[in-house]
């Protein structure tokens, strides 16, 4: 599959093709439902979606037991963290019959440029970074914009602090300072040495948190260290490239025995924000807030225009250069969608 740049219209057409393909798949699903519903279905009960596998989801009922369920085609897609109504069939599989309203959801475009939910009903987004694979500022900022816009509270976590040394320490000290100055919490931890995890555990108690970040930064290892009784797959780094292997392939929810849920999600390389408007990106940079609306020109692009309040804030040190550059880079990328062409059906 060649990678090519598509404009919004081309991406929309690809999305339409995907939609039609999805509709055909839904028809197949309908047949399955008819068969299922031909048998005896138990009473309707509430449940929580634990994870998603293609045409099925794993749902946990009030008794704490988890069952694989088919979904009614008209539900419009379910994601980890969804609250649902479901009925158990006589073959130990169930059918999800309704999706309850989402309190909030984390969305992002997939590699075909279609906007998809990643997880629902989340309180915290834990953005994990590490010295290896290298933490890309722009990816952190993209997550932060998504969190701010979805009203999910972000918290940053530098994992693998056992790998800090004379060469990289200064870089991370300044990165952490930058974000703490804006008001973001930055927790430092080493899942390997079980260092710093108590602070994270206390913070995440009784809440629903989704762990996000590049592949290989240690999301799964942190979660498995916090929840030693769970069987969670942790990957290795490819020695040469130091890039992650994409060990986690589907978002899965785990419970703290004392209350609170952690959602492990698959690592990503890029986080497209092309579905957002420029003003949303601006609002997603929360330290810009005091300066929005004060530019001389109403359609200011905050580049070389005279009387730009954002550039003035940058000059005065209220906005960091790293964040300003990230903002410009994200805005520049809005017109283009970096997507893979879908495989022929």
Ligand X SMILES: Nc1nc2c(ncn2[C@@H]2O[C@H](COP(=O)(O)OP(=O)(O)OP(=O)(O)O)[C@@H](O)[C@H]2O)c(=O)[nH]1
- 221 interface partner picked from Zn ion, Mg ion, ligand X, none, CB below 5 to 8 A per type: ligand X
Cα–Cα dist 230/227, whole Å: 6
Q: Does 216 bind ligand X (CB under 6 A)?
A: yes
SS3 category, 87: strand
Q: Does 248 bind Mg ion (CB under 5 A)?
A: yes
Residue in 146, 295, 313, 314 binding Zn ion, rule: CB under 5 A: 295
Cα–Cα dist 244/133, whole Å: 7
Residue in 95, 97, 156, 191 binding ligand X, rule: CB under 6 A: 191
Q: Does 159 bind ligand X (CB under 6 A)?
A: yes
Residue in 208, 281, 308, 339 binding Zn ion, rule: CB under 5 A: 308
Stated as kind and residue range, the H or E segment containing 198 is helix 197-204
Going by C-beta distance under 8 Å and a sequence separation of 6 or more, which residues neighbour residue 77?
Answer: 116, 117
Task: Compute how many residues bind Zn ion; rule: CB under 5 A.
Answer: 5
Pairing relationship of beta strands 208-212 and 56-61 according to DSSP bridges: unpaired
Q: For residue 84, give the nearest of 97, 70, 72, 67 by alpha carbon.
A: 97
Cα–Cα dist 264/220, whole Å: 6
**Pairs from 137-140 (Cβ < 8 Å, separation ≥ 24):** 137/175, 137/322, 137/326, 138/326, 138/329, 138/330, 139/213, 139/214, 139/270, 139/271, 140/179
- 212 interface partner picked from ligand X, Zn ion, Mg ion, none, CB below 5 to 8 A per type: none
Residue in 223, 310, 314, 337 binding Zn ion, rule: CB under 5 A: 310
- 308 interface partner picked from ligand X, Zn ion, Mg ion, none, CB below 5 to 8 A per type: Zn ion
**Counts for the chain of helices (H) and strands (E), in that order:** 8, 15
Residue in 72, 87, 219, 302 binding ligand X, rule: CB under 6 A: 219
- 216 interface partner picked from Zn ion, Mg ion, ligand X, none, CB below 5 to 8 A per type: ligand X
Q: Does 292 bind Zn ion (CB under 5 A)?
A: no
Segment 246-285, which members bind ligand X (CB under 6 A)?
A: 246-248, 266-267
Residues recorded for the chain:
345
- Classify 121 in phi/psi space as left (phi over 0), alpha (psi -120 to 50) or beta: left
Residue in 41, 176, 292, 300 binding Zn ion, rule: CB under 5 A: 300
**Candidates 2-10, 135-143, 188-196, 311-319; binding stretch for ligand X (CB under 6 A):** 188-196
- 163 interface partner picked from Mg ion, ligand X, Zn ion, none, CB below 5 to 8 A per type: ligand X
| Structure token digits, residue 63 | 């008794």
Q: Is residue 266 within 8 Å of residue 248, measured between CB atoms?
A: yes
Pairing relationship of beta strands 252-255 and 261-264 according to DSSP bridges: antiparallel
Q: Least distance from C-beta 302 to Zn ion, angstroms?
A: 4
- Site residues (vs Zn ion, CB under 5 A): 295, 300, 302, 308, 310
- Site residues (vs Mg ion, CB under 5 A): 219-220, 247-248
- Site residues (vs ligand X, CB under 6 A): 159-160, 162-163, 190-192, 215-221, 234-237, 244-248, 266-267
């Amino acid at each position: 599959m060649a990678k090519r740049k598509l404009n919004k219209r081309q991406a929309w057409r690809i999305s339409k093709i995907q939609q039609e393909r999805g509709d055909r798949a839904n028809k197949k699903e309908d047949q399955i439902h008819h068969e299922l519903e031909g048998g005896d279905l138990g009473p309707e009960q509430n449940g929580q979606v634990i994870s998603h596998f293609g045409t099925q989801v794993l749902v946990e009922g009030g008794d704490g037991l988890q069952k694989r369920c088919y979904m009614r085609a008209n539900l419009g897609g379910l994601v980890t963290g969804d609250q649902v109504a479901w009925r158990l069939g006589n073959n130990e599989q169930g059918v999800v019959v309704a999706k309850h309203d989402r309190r909030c959801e984390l969305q992002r475009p997939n590699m075909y440029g279609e906007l998809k939910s990643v997880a629902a009903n989340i309180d915290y987004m834990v953005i994990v970074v590490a010295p290896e694979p290298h933490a890309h500022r722009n990816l952190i900022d993209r997550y932060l914009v998504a969190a701010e816009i979805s009203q999910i509270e972000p918290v940053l976590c530098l994992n693998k602090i056992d790998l800090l040394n004379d060469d990289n320490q200064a870089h991370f000290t300044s990165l952490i300072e930058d974000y703490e100055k804006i008001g973001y919490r930055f927790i430092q931890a080493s899942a390997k040495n079980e260092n710093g995890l108590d602070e994270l555990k206390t913070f995440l108690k009784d809440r629903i948190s989704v762990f996000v970040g590049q592949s290989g930064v240690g999301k799964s290892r942190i979660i498995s260290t916090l929840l030693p009784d769970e069987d969670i797959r942790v990957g290795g780094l490819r020695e040469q490239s130091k890039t992650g292997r994409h060990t986690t392939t589907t978002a899965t929810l785990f419970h703290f025995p004392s209350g609170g849920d952690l959602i492990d999600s698959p690592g990503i390389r890029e986080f497209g924000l092309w579905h957002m408007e420029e003003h949303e990106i601006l609002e997603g940079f929360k330290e810009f807030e005091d300066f929005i609306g004060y530019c001389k020109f109403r359609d200011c692009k905050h580049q070389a225009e005279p009387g730009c309040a954002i550039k003035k804030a940058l000059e005065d040190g209220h906005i960091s250069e790293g964040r300003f550059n990230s903002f410009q880079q994200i805005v520049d990328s809005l017109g283009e969608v970096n997507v893979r062409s879908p495989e022929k059906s």
